[in-house]
Amino acid sequence: MSQHLLLPLAILAISPIPGAFQDSALSPTQEEPEDLDCGRPEPSARIMGGSDSQPGTWPWQVSLHQGGGHICGGSLIAPSWVLSAAHCFVTNGTLEPAAEWSVVLGVHSQDGPLDGAHVRAVAAILVPDNYSGVESGADVALLRLASPARLGPTVRPVCLPRASHRFAHGTACWATGWGDVQEADPLPLPWVLQEVELRVLGEAACQCLYSRPGPFNLTFQLLPGMLCAGYPEGRRDTCQGDSGGPLVCKEGGRWFQAGITSFGFGCGRRNRPGVFTAVAPYEAWIREQVLGSEPGPAFPTQSPELQSGLPEPTDENCTIALPECGKAPRPGAWPWEAQVMVPGSRPCYGALVSESWVLAPASCFPGRISSDLPPRDLDNWRVMLPSRPRAERVARLVPHENASWDDASNLALLQLRAPVNLSVAPRPVCLPHPEHYFLPGSRCRLARWGHTEPVPGAGSLLEAELLGVWWCHCLYGRQGESVPPPGEPPLALCPAYQEEEVAGRCWNYSHWSLLCREEGTWFLAGIRDLPSDCLRPRAFYPLQTHGPWISHVTRGAYLEDQLAWDWGPEGEETETQTCPPHTEHGACGLRPEPALTGGLWPWLAEVHVAGERVCTGILVAPGWVLAATHCILRLGSTTVPYIEVYLGRAGASPLPQSHQVTSAPPLLCQTEEGSWVLVGMAVRGSRDLFAAIGPEETWISQTVGEAHFLHPSGFPHWLPEGGDLCPPDMARASGSPRAALFLLLLTLLIQG
Ligand SMILES: *[C@@H]1O[C@H](CO)[C@@H](O)[C@H](O)[C@H]1NC(C)=O
Ligand SMILES: *[C@@H]1O[C@H](CO)[C@@H](O)[C@H](O)[C@H]1NC(C)=O
Ligand SMILES: *[C@@H]1O[C@H](CO)[C@@H](O)[C@H](O)[C@H]1NC(C)=O
Ligand SMILES: *[C@@H]1O[C@H](CO)[C@@H](O)[C@H](O)[C@H]1NC(C)=O
Ligand SMILES: *[C@@H]1O[C@H](CO)[C@@H](O)[C@H](O)[C@H]1NC(C)=O
Ligand SMILES: *[C@@H]1O[C@H](CO)[C@@H](O)[C@H](O)[C@H]1NC(C)=O
Ligand SMILES: *[C@@H]1O[C@H](CO)[C@@H](O)[C@H](O)[C@H]1NC(C)=O
C-alpha cells in the first residue's frame, strides 16, 4: 500500500451539524465504565510480509460507500459509531448529506457478494467546527449509525487512546485499507483489505523530512494534532482511498487507534511519510460527540512504562534518506546495465529498475511479443548484471501494450526469477515520475540501449547538456504542437553534445538511452529508436510518461522525485515563445554547404584551435573574425589557446585526419538585394540550432567599428515564398541557448 496525493485545499467554515445531538454544557471528561471490549481481534494467523490481510484480522475496519462504491475507510469505535476523516465528507466547503453514505462492516474482499458483511445507514456525520481542509488539521469525523452494528468475530471496535496516551517514535503500527496500491494504481481484484506495517515518526523527525524542499521546492509545516507514520526511505505507505482508515498499534494485547489516514505527498515517496490525524488529542471532542450513547467507545489507560519510547532525532540532527538508485562510480560504469541474452539474437542492453525487473526495448525480442503467451524459450533467456557471478534467469516478459506500433513505447519489462541483492552493483537506475522536469543544461550521457553497435569514436565522452523544452520542440517537435510547460511531460528531450561529431563516423542502427544526472544521481530520462541519419541521436522519447506503467507492472521500481528544482523566472517562458518557421535547410534560410555552392564563401574562415580543432569563423571586418565561444574555450579552461585563422580556403581542401571539426557552418540569409547577412552561429553540437547575432549587435559594433549591420528596417524585405529565405523575426530572435550567446572576436595579427 502506499498514499494519496495532497487533496485540493478548499477554504471552508463548517457550521454545527444540524441534527447532531451535542450538548456542550455537559462535561466531556467524566470517566465511563469500560463495559465495551475493544481492540481484541480473535486470534488469527497474519502474513506479516504480505500485503493481503487475513479475514478477521482487523475487525474494526469499515468501508464507507457513497453511490454504491468504496470512497473511504473508517473504524468502528462503538456499536453505533465510526471514526473517519473529515475530508471524506466535505466537498468544496460543504458537508455532504449523511443519507448518501452507508457503512459496510465485516467486509474482507469487496469483490462480489459481501459474504458475512453487513451494511448500516448513516444517521449523522460530525466534523469539528474548525475543520477547513486537510492541510490545516482537525481532519476527523464521526459517523453515527442509524442502527447499531452486529458485533461478532469480524466486527469489533478498536480501543481509543486517551489524550495523555503517547505513541513513541519508532513504534510499529499497522495501517489498513482498500486504497490504491501505488500512486494512481488501484487495488486489483478481488479487492482484499490491505495491511502495511508503518513506524510512528516523532514530530521532530517527521518535520525534519518535511522541511526538506522536495520536488517543486515544496515544504510542509506539521500542525499539532497531526501524526506521521512511515519510513524516511518511503516505499511503504497509505494511498488514495485509504483516507479515514485506522493506524493501529498493539499495546498489552489490545489494539489502539493512533491515527486516522489523512493525506500525503504522493504515495510512498522518499522523505514524505504519510500524515495521519492523531486520535489522542481528540479524546475530549469524541467523548463530547458520543455523549449519551451506550455503550460508547472505550479509552483504556496506557500502562505508564509505555509512555516513553526511543530517543527521537531532532530537527538539527535528523537524517534524511538519500536515493537508493542511480549512483554510479563514474559515468560509463553503470551498475544497472543489464545485458539480455536471447537465443538466436545478439545481446541487447537494458537497465535494472528494481530488485527483480529489467527494462529494455521491446525490439530486443522480435517475434516474441506478438502473442499473449509467454515466449516458449524463456527458460533459456539470461540476464547479465554487473558484479554478479552468474547470469540471472528470466521468469516473465511483459511488453508494453503499444510497443509494436509506437516507437516511444518500444519497451518491455523482464522479471528475474529471483530478486538480486542490491548493493553498489548491481544497483537500479532512478526513473522519473510523470511530473519530473529535467532542467535545461542538465548533464546527461548516452548509454547503451537495445542492440547497440560499437560506440563510434571509441573513448568518446558521450556527454551532453539538455536543451530547453522550447528549443527541443522547435527543432525536432511536430509543427503545431504546443510546448508543454514545466511539470508536464515533454514531448521530447534533446541533448546538446559536449564534443563534436566525428566526421566519417556513423551512428546508424544504434539505440541509445539518455541518462541525466541530478545532484549526483542518474535518471533514465529518455530512450531513442534508430536515428534517421549518421548523426548522433538528437531527440529522445521521454521515459517519464511510462512511469505509471513501469510501477504498475513492477510494484517497486525506483521512481524518484525530482532532486534539482531550481526553475525560477529564468526557466523557460514557454507561453510567449513561438518557434521560428522551418525550411528544409534547418531552422531558417540557407546553410551554405561549400560543396553545393561550387565556390567559396569569401567571408568564411577556418579557425584552427590548439593545432587540432577546427571551426568556422566569419570575417566581419578587415581584421576581425567572429567565432563561437565553445569553439575557442574548452570547458573549464580559462586560457585562450593558440589560434590560427585561414582565410580564403574554408572548405576548399579536405582537412587532415587529425582535425576535429567543432561546429557546423554559420547561418546566412540573403536579402532581396542579394547581399548575405550573418544571422546565427551554430550552437555547440548542433547543425540546426543557431545563436542569433541580432541581440549581440551593440557589443559587436562597439568592438568592431567597421562591422556592417543592416538597418533593422531593411530586414522585412525578403523575397516571397520559397528558396533560401529567412523569416524577418529570425534576425532579431531572442531566447537562444545561453551557452552560445558569447561570441569571441579574434584580432588578426597577420592578414593573409
Ligand atoms: C466551489 O465553490 C465555489 C464558491 O462557492 C464555486 O465557485 C465553485 O464552482 C465550487 N466548485 C465546485 C466543484 O463545486
Ligand atoms: C480546532 O479547535 C480546537 C479546539 O479549540 C483546537 O485545539 C484545534 O487546534 C483547532 N484546529 C484547527 C485546525 O483550527
Ligand atoms: C540527536 O538525536 C539523538 C537521537 O537519535 C538524540 O538523542 C540527541 O540528543 C540528538 N542530538 C542533538 C545535538 O540534538
Ligand atoms: C497505449 O496507447 C493508447 C492510445 O494512445 C493509450 O490510451 C494507452 O494509455 C497506451 N498504453 C500505455 C500503457 O501507455
Ligand atoms: C546482500 O548483501 C549484503 C551486503 O553485501 C549481505 O550482507 C547480505 O547477506 C546479502 N543478502 C543476501 C540475501 O544475499
Ligand atoms: C548508415 O546509413 C547510410 C544510409 O542508410 C548508409 O549509406 C551507410 O552505409 C550506413 N553506415 C553504416 C556504418 O552502417
Ligand atoms: C524555494 O522556496 C523558498 C520559499 O518558498 C524560496 O525562498 C526559495 O528561493 C525557493 N528556492 C528555489 C530554488 O526556488
Cβ–ligand 5 contact at 657 (below 6 Å): no
Q: Which three cell numbers stand for residue 101?
A: 453514505
The answer as to whether 420 is a domain residue is no
Please count the helices (runs of H) and the strands (runs of E) in the chain: 7, 37
CA angle 152, 250, 555 (to 5 degrees): 90
pLDDT digits (tens, 9 = 90+) for 297-308: 999 999 887 776
pLDDT in the model for residue 125: 98
pLDDT digits (tens, 9 = 90+) for 461-477: 688 888 877 777 766 77
Residue 336 identity (one-letter amino acid): W
Question: Which of these is catalytic: 4, 84, 139, 242?
Answer: 139
Greater pLDDT, 549 or 651:
549
Residue 229 identity (one-letter amino acid): A
Question: Which of these is catalytic: 4, 65, 70, 87?
Answer: 87
Greater pLDDT, 449 or 659:
449
- Rounded to the nearest integer, the mean pLDDT of the chain is 78
Centroid of ligand 4 to alpha carbon of 515 (angstroms):
24
CA 486 vs CA 74, 374, 434, 568, 579: distances in Å: 38, 39, 11, 11, 17
Is residue 499 located within the same domain as residue 596?
Answer: no
Check which CATH number belongs to the domain holding 485 and give it: 2.40.10.10
Q: Give 162-197 as a 3 state SS string.
A: CCCCCCCCCCEEEEEECCCCECCECCCCCCECEEEE
Which residue's CA is the nearest one to ligand 4's atom 2?
A: 402
Alpha helices in 291-412 (DSSP H): none
Is residue 237 located within the same domain as residue 124?
Answer: yes
126 and 142 Cβ atoms separated by less than 8 Å: yes
Is residue 248 located within the same domain as residue 172?
Answer: yes
Alpha-carbon dihedral 373, 376, 377, 383, rounded to 10 degrees: 10
- Output the DSSP codes for 51-73: SBPPTTSSTTEEEEEETTEEEEE
Q: Which domain holds residue 498?
A: 431-544
582 an active-site residue? no
Return the number of other C-beta atoms located less than 10 Å from residue 418's C-beta: 10
Domain count, the chain: 3
Domain-terminating residue out of 245, 279, 304? 304
- Spatial separation of the C-alpha atoms in residues 559 and 54, rounded to whole Å: 30
- Spatial separation of the C-alpha atoms in residues 142 and 120, rounded to whole Å: 14
Greater pLDDT, 346 or 576:
346
CA 320 vs CA 271, 317, 429, 510: distances in Å: 6, 10, 20, 40
Burial label for 101, CB within 10 Å (0-12, 13-18, 19+), is buried
Q: Which of 258-262, 554-558, 721-725 has the highest mean pLDDT?
A: 258-262
Which residue's CA is the nearest one to ligand 5's atom 10?
A: 421
Greater pLDDT, 634 or 603:
603
Centroid of ligand 4 to alpha carbon of 475 (angstroms):
26
Is residue 464 located within the same domain as residue 519?
Answer: yes
Mean pLDDT value across residues 111-130: 89
Q: Is the pLDDT of residue 383 over 80?
A: yes
Tell me the percentage of the chain whose pLDDT exceeds 70. Answer: 72
The answer as to whether 520 is a domain residue is yes
Is residue 184 located within the same domain as residue 111?
Answer: yes
What residues have CB less than 8 Å from 641, skipping those under 6 apart?
Answer: 609, 610, 632, 634
What residues have CB less than 8 Å from 68, skipping those under 6 apart?
Answer: none
Is residue 650 located within the same domain as residue 512?
Answer: no
Is residue 87 located within the same domain as residue 189?
Answer: yes
Is residue 536 located within the same domain as residue 610?
Answer: no
- If you ran DSSP here, which 8-state letter would residue 39 be given? S
Domain-terminating residue out of 258, 279, 304? 304
23 an active-site residue? no
Q: Is the pLDDT of residue 29 over 90?
A: no
Q: Is the pLDDT of residue 484 over 90?
A: no
Is residue 218 located within the same domain as residue 299?
Answer: yes
The answer as to whether 195 is a domain residue is yes
670 and 676 Cβ atoms separated by less than 8 Å: yes
Cβ–ligand 2 contact at 128 (below 6 Å): yes
Residue with cell 545563436: 691
Domain-terminating residue out of 304, 339, 369? 304
Centroid of ligand 6 to alpha carbon of 508 (angstroms):
6
pLDDT digits (tens, 9 = 90+) for 170-228: 999 999 999 988 888 888 888 899 999 999 999 999 999 999 887 777 899 999 999 99
Cβ–ligand 6 contact at 453 (below 6 Å): no
The answer as to whether 180 is a domain residue is yes
pLDDT in the model for residue 270: 92
Place 480 in a pLDDT band, splitting at 50, 70 and 90: low
| Pairing mode, strands 559-560 and 431-432 | parallel
The answer as to whether 643 is a domain residue is yes
The answer as to whether 535 is a domain residue is yes
The answer as to whether 517 is a domain residue is yes
Is residue 122 located within the same domain as residue 249?
Answer: yes
Which residue's CA is the nearest one to ligand 7's atom 6?
A: 217
* Nearest atom in ligand 3 to 316's CA: 14
Centroid of ligand 3 to alpha carbon of 311 (angstroms):
7
- Spatial separation of the C-alpha atoms in residues 43 and 153, rounded to whole Å: 10
379 an active-site residue? no
Is residue 539 located within the same domain as residue 619?
Answer: no
pLDDT in the model for residue 509: 63
CA 209 vs CA 237, 325, 589: distances in Å: 15, 19, 53
- Spatial separation of the C-alpha atoms in residues 35 and 79, rounded to whole Å: 12
- If you ran DSSP here, which 8-state letter would residue 484 be given? P
Alpha-carbon dihedral 238, 243, 244, 249, rounded to 10 degrees: 0
Q: What are residue 155's DSSP bridge partners?
A: 152
Q: Is the pLDDT of residue 372 over 80?
A: no
Which residue's CA is the nearest one to ligand 4's atom 8?
A: 402
| Pairing mode, strands 357-360 and 348-352 | antiparallel
What residues have CB less than 8 Å from 307, skipping those under 6 apart?
Answer: 166, 168
CA 224 vs CA 139, 227, 508, 683: distances in Å: 12, 8, 61, 55
* Nearest atom in ligand 7 to 567's CA: 14
Is residue 64 located within the same domain as residue 171?
Answer: yes
Cβ–ligand 6 contact at 506 (below 6 Å): yes
The answer as to whether 452 is a domain residue is yes
